Amino acid sequence: MSDVRVIIQRDSEREERVVTTGTTAAALFEGERSVVAARVAGELKDLAYEVADGDAVEPVDITSEDGLNILRHSTAHVMAQAVQELFPEAKLGIGPPIRDGFYYDFDVETPFHPDDLKRIEKKMQEIQKRGQRFSRRAVSDEAARDELADEPYKLELIGLKGSAADAAEGASAEVGAGELTIYDNLDAKTGELCWKDLCRGPHLPSTRAIPAFKLMRSAAAYWRGSEKNPQLQRIYGTAWPTRDELKAHLEFLAEAEKRDHRKLGSELDLFSIPEELGSGLAVFHPKGGVVRKVMEDYSRRRHEEADYEFVNTPHISKEKLFETSGHLPNYADGMFPPLEFDGQNYRLKAMNCPMHNLIFKARGRSYRELPLRMFEFGTVYRYEKSGVVHGLTRARGFTQDDSHIYCTKEQMPQELDDLLTFVLNLLRDYGLNEFELELSTRDPESDKFIGEDAEWEEATEALRLAAEKQGLPLVPDPGGAAYYGPKISVQAKDAIGRSWQMSTIQVDFQQPKRFNLEYTAADGSRQQPVMIHRALFGSIERFFAVLLEHYAGAFPAWLAPVQAVGIPIGDGHVPYLAEFAAEAKARGLRIEVDSSSDRMQKKIRNAQKAKIPFMVIAGDEDVAAGAVSFRYRDGSQKNGIPRAEAIAEIVDAVERRVQV
């Protein structure tokens, strides 16, 4: 046997090692139980891979992003094997890893029932304990077709190999763009074939290496994401490196479910999405309307202080406007179909910027007017597919807090600095405090993006410099820019650590050019302004949903639809609390008195369920002393507070925007 030299790469450390021919990656990392694969020349390999002379081999830990994907994809294979053992007629779709888990699609006669998922999970546990080996082998297209002749969806994927379409809905995880490979699940003792699947891998060494998993739910899903294709049954699951991590994830999901804005919106009577209106179209109820108004009023005040000018634009426009802006050729799929009348096509407004450009262009502009900051709460309509519409966070009709700033190139750096600081401070005022920034740039290989290279470089560099001054993590997003310019997105973490995309800031040299926007410079020449797009909330509806989940419905007093409720110990105390409420309302507070026939303890429970910040209780002693007692949302209580002090405490909590 000859020797081969390999380099073992661990972060910045390199170790050269001489091993015999036929040595596997598993042997290189023997005893390192958390290593589940290897990376060789940038490619992920199974641990069964035999190293070659000159290979640089990097261990892939199960806790890394690649390691988690391998764990979850391997678990998806175990699930598919379990399904076909229990439901032999099931035909296989695809089974890629996804964020925090995996799924697999199946063509079955009857949709899966929750009891079916329990049976499948039990069968998976049996397969996991068998310790079946995942064994990779390369096959020709013809051989793959012969072996998978009974799997119509796999045959379709083989036909798609190497095409652009194979990336759809995770299909590339099955076939990739090179040679086809099949993974066999082999009996640990006999080597007998137990099951097989078309897959490019890599996989864990064996099913026993899967530490912890759970099936979550099933749902209908169109094959390869197209409504034109058959509807399959998709089973979702999750897998983790340890049982403790699985338990923590399930607890996180339970907490997220309790905070679901759709559930809270109904329980707290804030909003609804009536079937009569249509998917993705919400109505705000009186209490939700209060929260929304407070959000908008505070934002308006802050924008006035920052020298923004308020504008208003219609909900519909001639189609030509969106051709001029470039949205129609680049964004038609996201717009509702045209409406024809008066012999012309009109479109529901999907974005506000073209109309703001018309306001700028309505008369001559001087450099003395710049920067010109326009702001609008503008309602827009976007056609989202029914499968992605999700409550208020992905809607078809929503209101953007949209601003467009027109400035000179010389003003642009300072304007971006000030704008990003303004955005972050306003988000902090609403109770979000943990941020990272994402810089979305264009893909030079794509023809989606318009404009000259130099313009893109200048705009991108200006955004990058502004972002770096904030001292926050800056994450690259190659190819994620809008067709007309790069953007910074503010990613904010909520109370349970989820990241939400909030504000976006985009530098645009293209629309001013397309609309022939000009201003008169100090030397009398006509110059093109820079246009900065900015949505602070993103949309009011989505921001409302994020705050609702962030606070789990328990809004701070300044945002709460009802800031205090008066709870009388007996009916005779209602007039006293009515006087207190009148005084509080005179100070601008939102307060109600519960004069229902319910017992006091039920009134307290009702107020707790409604997540009202202050419960103001009054009995004989309080009336005699001209005082009230407070019961807070956390169950604590403070007694004998003089009425004026009680009102002052609520006012203080509102003005300081604190949680109580």
- Pairing of the two strands 56-61 and 3-10: parallel
Q: Which of 128, 233, 400, 511 is catalytic?
A: 400
Q: Which residue has the tokens 């609702």?
A: 548
95-98: list long-range contacts, CB under 8 Å, 24+ apart.
Answer: 95/170, 95/173, 95/197, 96/170, 96/173, 97/68, 97/69, 97/70, 97/72, 97/73, 97/173, 98/72, 98/170
Active site residue 382: yes
Q: Which of 233, 353, 396, 511 is catalytic?
A: 353
Q: Which of 116, 166, 402, 508 is catalytic?
A: 402
Q: How large is the angle between the packed helices 412-429 and 286-305, nearest 10 degrees?
A: 150
Active site residue 261: no
Q: Which residue has the tokens 């017992």?
A: 599
Judge contact between 253 and 236, C-beta under 8 A.
no
Query: What HEC string does 602-646 produce?
Result: HHHHHHHHCCCCEEEEECHHHHHHCEEEEEECCCCEEEEEEHHHH
Q: Which of 39, 365, 373, 404 is catalytic?
A: 404
Separation between Cα atoms, residue 162 and residue 166, nearest integer Å: 7
Judge contact between 32 and 8, C-beta under 8 A.
no
DSSP string across 237-282: EEEESSHHHHHHHHHHHHHHHHT-HHHHHHHTT-EE--TTT-TT--
Distances (CA, A) of 268 to 101, 262, 514: 32, 10, 47
Q: Which of 123, 259, 533, 550 is catalytic?
A: 533
Active site residue 400: yes
Q: Quick one: how far is CA 271 from the chain centroid? A: 21
Other CB atoms within 10 Å distance of the CB of residue 227:
10
Active site residue 302: no
Active site residue 533: yes
Q: Where are the beta strands (DSSP E) in 140-253?
A: 180-186, 193-198, 212-222, 231-240
Q: Which of 487, 542, 603, 611 is catalytic?
A: 487
Please give the positions annotated as active site.
353, 382, 400, 402, 404, 487, 533
